[in-house]
């Protein structure tokens, strides 16, 4: 049995909410119309061999869609995670499809590889396979970047980019994130389960966004573009970021080291996102979560120090 | 083996590797040159400061310009789980550490992981799994999550999971299962000198990432290699390009 992922009626795919859309609908609106070609499509039914052991339903695509297409005429390889199937988690097939795509890019040399993250991290029922796949993905991304192919991450789905997905995101050349996108290693529920609700109250959604949400990541350098929650906005951001991808070399890693050391020195004592934003020079930190994208962009421009090339 | 035993077996003539706050760094004489060592000792969780310091050591090795091999010795907890670490961007710090190791490898520094204790999740991915080849010592216990926690999440009884773990290496914790999935290439002999064993691992470093092939051959990850290869085939057919 397979879970069927369907979308609400979409009239204009590009104006539709990225958060609400399925992985396939995101790809439809992201790429030039009619250019997407899928590898190992769902008709091949390459499903997880392990989930039946746990009496769990499978999906024909294992929650990972990989293929080729064009964006504004440029050839790209794309991978999209379906957060509504097992939280977009990495299992054996799911991970191997992304590994294969990145290895293919080393041969095909597209203008970029786009990864549409929507993942809670490693799928526990296939934990060893998922974790190893994440390590393989990071190695393949490093090789690809060293060969001059940018790898762009797009983060705005229901499941965020958690666990190993957060590490893969940190390996990409550039990241675009929306308000509802989150990047983190340990998720709020994981921290709460292990360390208690005093450490992290996972039901406090405002706290979640101040700690790992799109605006916080963009302000502190964990993301490169903050975008509206529409497919059109992600498309525009992806196009812009392809052209600004940094090299993967010693100079970039030295610069990233300096950037991350400086962050520890400046904000290491802070206990909340609002404290960090205040130190960045934001006059009214409490107003940040309510800002529109245009207001937030003006704020970024006024701070003048949020351009972090080293990643 | 303890870290001290490992270091004295690796460097019988002595070494300058030190451990502080659970973080290991330094080097010792190796094959007429040096072997750099970084690592985590004492089941220590890896947080933002630790990842940053270890990455700094890797960059220092690269900056010297020689092709010094780097050994990453690991007995860690998982990533440090805290609101503060996530607030500061732990994913970037862990990914940065992994990237410095991957860049070192690309620049000709052989990288070898050595797991001798526990390790899990983000800390494991950012350190030992970011090397070209990972080997283990008997007694090592890598895991993604322990079985009682897996039981909680999957809502399956622990005794059933324990029974399944015996012949399903894809989810069960432990060194043997990580060997079967291909993440760990092999297990070293703690009774023989480690220096020559690490030298042999370096001499036989695989050209490509061979972990999925090992996973298929050993039965722990039966189809990953085939799936990845099929994507490469479909993506590189002349008519596949949009």
**DSSP per-residue letters across B77-130:** EEE---HHHHHTTHHHHHHHHHHHHHHHHHTT--EEEEE-SEEEHHHHHHTGGG
Cβ-defined contact of B171 to A276 (cutoff 8 Å): no
* Rounded average pLDDT over B100-129: 97
Residues B209-213, mean pLDDT to the nearest whole number? 97
Residues 136-155 of B with CB under 8 A from A: 143-145, 150, 153-154
Per-residue model confidence (pLDDT) at position B153: 77
pLDDT of residue A308: 66
What are the DSSP calls for B11-58, one per residue? -TT--EEEEETTEEEEEEEETTEEEEEEEEEEEEEE-HHHHHHHHHHH
Rounded (5°) CA angle B166-A134-A191: 80
Q: What is the mean pLDDT of residues A91-96?
A: 98
| A143 interaction partners in chain B (CB closer than 8 Å) | 106
The per-residue pLDDT for range B68-92, each reduced to its tens digit, is 999 999 999 999 999 999 999 999 9
Q: Token digits for A61? A: 């695509």
pLDDT digits (tens, 9 = 90+) for B163-207: 988 888 999 999 999 999 999 999 999 999 999 999 999 999 999
Q: What is the pLDDT of residue A267?
A: 97
CA-CA-CA-CA torsion sign (A54, B162, A165, B70): negative
Q: What is the pLDDT of residue B151?
A: 84
pLDDT score recorded for residue B20: 95
Name every chain A residue with its beta carbon within 8 A of the beta carbon of B154.
54, 124-125
A274-302 average pLDDT score: 95
pLDDT number for residue A5: 67
pLDDT > 80? residue B103: yes
Instruction: Report the DSSP pairing between strands B70-79 and B33-46.
Output: parallel
Q: Under an 8 A CB cutoff, do B223 and A93 touch?
A: yes
Confidence of residue A15 (pLDDT cuts 50, 70, 90): confident
A88 neighbors A130 (Cβ within 8 angstroms): no
Please provide the distance, in angstroms rounded to a whole number, between the alpha carbons at the two ends of chain B.
54
Cβ-contact A48, A84 below 8 angstroms: no
CA distance B177 to B161: 14
d(CA A205, CA A189): 11
As a whole number of angstroms, the distance between CA A222 and CA B89 comes to: 7
Nearest CA in chain B to A268: B88
pTM above 0.80, yes or no: yes
Report the pLDDT value the prediction gives residue A11, as an integer from 0 to 100. Answer: 67
* Distance in Å from the first CA to the final CA of chain A: 42
Q: How confident is the model at residue A1 (pLDDT cuts 50, 70, 90)?
A: very low
B127-136 mean pLDDT: 98
**Domain residue limits, chain B:** 3-137+188-205
Residues 84-143 of chain B whose Cβ lies under 8 A from any Cβ of chain A:
84-96, 98-100, 102-103, 106-107, 121-122, 124-126, 129-130, 143
Taking the C-alpha atoms of residue B152 and residue A184, their distance in angstroms, rounded to an integer, is 22
CA atoms within 13 A on the CB side of B55: 31
Among A174-183, B19-28, B137-146, which stretch is predicted with the lowest mean pLDDT? B137-146
Q: How far is CA B219 from the centre of its chain?
A: 20
pLDDT value, residue B241: 47
Measured between beta carbons, which residues in chain B are less than 8 angstroms from residue A272?
87
DSSP A246: P
Spatial separation of the C-alpha atoms in residues B142 and B121, rounded to whole Å: 9
A84 within 8 A of A61, measured Cβ to Cβ: no
B1: enclosing H helix or E strand: none
Helix (H, G, I), strand (E, B) or coil at A289: helix
Q: How far apart are CA A17 and CA B8, in angstroms?
A: 59
pLDDT, residue A243, reads 93
Token pair for B231: 């994507």
Contact A123, A92 (CB under 8 A): no
Tens-digit pLDDT profile for residues A122-176? 999 999 999 999 999 999 999 999 999 999 999 999 999 999 999 999 999 999 9
Suggest the residue from A76, A101, A170, A272 to mutate for an interface test with chain B (most B CBs closer than 10 A): A170
Contacts of B168 in chain A (CB under 8 A): 50, 53
Q: What is the pLDDT of residue B167?
A: 86
B235 contacts chain A (CB < 8 A): yes
- Range 5-44 of B in CB contact (< 8 A) with A: none
Residue B239: per-residue pLDDT: 63
Asked if pLDDT for residue A2 goes beyond 60, the answer is: no
Confidence bin at B221 (pLDDT 50/70/90):
very high
Asked if A108's CB is within 8 angstroms of B81's CB, the reply is: no
CB contact (8 A) between residue A222 and residue B94:
no
**pLDDT score for B165:** 87
Report the distance separating Cα B127 and Cα B98, nearest Å. Answer: 6
CA distance A214 to A177: 5
Residue A152, strand partner residues: A114, A174
User: What is the band of B242 on the pLDDT scale with cuts at 50, 70, 90?
Assistant: very low
Tell me how far apart the alpha carbons of residues B53 and A1 are, in angstroms, rounded to a whole number.
48
CB–CB of A104/A145 below 8 Å? no
Q: What is the mean pLDDT of chain A?
A: 94
Q: How confident is the model at residue B117 (pLDDT cuts 50, 70, 90)?
A: very high
pLDDT at A6: 64
How far apart, in whole angstroms, are the C-alpha atoms of residue A186 and residue B149? 15
Which residues of B fall within a CB distance of 8 Å from A211? 83, 86-87
CB A50 within 8 A of CB A91: yes
Does ipTM come in above 0.85? yes
**CB–CB contacts below 8 A, A to B:** 284
The percent helix, strand, coil of chain B (3-state, each to 5) is: 45, 20, 30
Q: Which of A114, A131, A188 to mutate to test the interface with B (most CBs of B within 10 A)?
A: A131
Residues belonging to chain B: 242
Question: Average pLDDT in the A248-262 region?
Answer: 96
* Low-confidence winner among A297-306, B162-171, B224-233 (lowest mean pLDDT): A297-306
CATH of B3-137+188-205, one of 3.40.50.2300, 3.40.50.1980, 3.40.50.1820, 3.90.226.10: 3.90.226.10
- Using DSSP, state whether B73 is helix, strand or coil: strand
**A185-199, B65-79, B111-125: which range is least confident on average?**
A185-199
Structure tokens at A143: 């090789």
Which alpha helices (H) appear in A196-230, and where do they start and end?
205-212, 214-220
Instruction: Determine contact: A142 vs chain B, CB below 8 A.
Output: yes
Min Cα distance B71 → chain A (Å) is 17
């Amino acid at each position: 049995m397979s879970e069927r992922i369907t979308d609400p009626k979409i009239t204009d795919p590009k104006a539709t909410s990225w958060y609400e859309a399925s992985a396939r609908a995101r790809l439809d609106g992201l790429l030039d119309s009619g250019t997407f070609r899928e590898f190992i499509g769902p008709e091949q039914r390459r499903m997880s061999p392990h989930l039946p052991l746990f009496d769990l339903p499978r999906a024909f695509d294992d929650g990972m869609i990989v293929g080729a297409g064009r964006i504004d005429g440029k050839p790209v390889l794309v991978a999209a995670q379906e957060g509504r199937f097992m939280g977009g988690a990495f299992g054996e097939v799911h991970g191997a499809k992304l590994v294969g795509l990145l290895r293919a890019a080393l041969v095909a040399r597209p203008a970029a590889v786009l990864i549409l993250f929507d993942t809670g991290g490693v799928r526990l029922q296939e934990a060893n396979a998922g974790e190893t796949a994440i390590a393989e993905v990071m190695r393949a991304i490093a090789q690809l970047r060293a060969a001059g192919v940018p790898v762009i991450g797009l983060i705005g789905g229901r499941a965020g980019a958690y666990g190993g997905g957060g590490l893969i995101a940190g390996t990409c050349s550039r990241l675009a994130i929306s308000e509802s996108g989150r990047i983190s290693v340990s998720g709020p529920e994981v921290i709460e389960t292990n360390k208690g609700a005093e450490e992290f109250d996972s039901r406090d959604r405002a706290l979640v966004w101040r700690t790992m949400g799109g605006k916080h990541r963009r302000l502190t350098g964990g993301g490169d573009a903050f975008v509206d929650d529409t497919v059109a906005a992600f498309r525009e951001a992806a196009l812009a970021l392809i052209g600004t991808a940094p090299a993967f070399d010693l100079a970039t890693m030295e610069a990233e080291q300096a950037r991350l050391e400086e962050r520890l020195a400046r904000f290491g004592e802070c206990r909340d996102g609002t404290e960090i934003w205040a130190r960045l020079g934001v006059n009214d930190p409490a107003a940040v979560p309510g800002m529109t994208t245009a207001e937030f962009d003006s704020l970024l421009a006024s701070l003048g120090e949020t351009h972090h090339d080293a990643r | 083996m303890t870290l001290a035993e490992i270091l004295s077996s690796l460097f019988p003539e002595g070494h300058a590797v030190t451990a502080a706050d659970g973080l290991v760094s330094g080097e010792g004489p190796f094959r007429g040159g040096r072997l750099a060592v970084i690592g985590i000792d004492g089941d220590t969780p890896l947080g933002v400061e630790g990842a940053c310091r270890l990455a700094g050591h890797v960059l220092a090795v690269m900056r010297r310009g020689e092709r010094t091999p780097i050994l990453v010795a690991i007995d860690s907890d998982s990533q440090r789980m805290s609101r503060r670490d996530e607030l500061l961007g732990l994913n970037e710090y862990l990914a940065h550490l992994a990237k410095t190791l991957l860049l070192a490898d690309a620049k000709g520094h052989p990288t070898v992981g050595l797991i001798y204790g526990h390790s899990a999740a983000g800390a494991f991915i950012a350190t030992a799994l970011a090397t070209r080849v990972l080997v283990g010592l008997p007694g090592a216990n890598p895991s993604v999550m322990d079985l009682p926690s897996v039981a909680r999440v999957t809502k399956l009884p622990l005794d059933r999971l324990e029974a399944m773990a015996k012949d399903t290496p894809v989810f069960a914790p432990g060194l043997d299962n990580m060997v079967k999935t291909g993440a760990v290439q092999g297990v070293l002999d703690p009774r023989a000198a480690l220096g020559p064993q690490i030298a042999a691992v370096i001499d036989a470093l695989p050209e490509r990432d061979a972990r999925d092939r090992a996973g298929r051959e050993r039965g722990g990850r039966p189809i990953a290699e085939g799936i990845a290869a099929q994507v490469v085939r479909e993506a590189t057919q002349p008519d596949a390009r949009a």
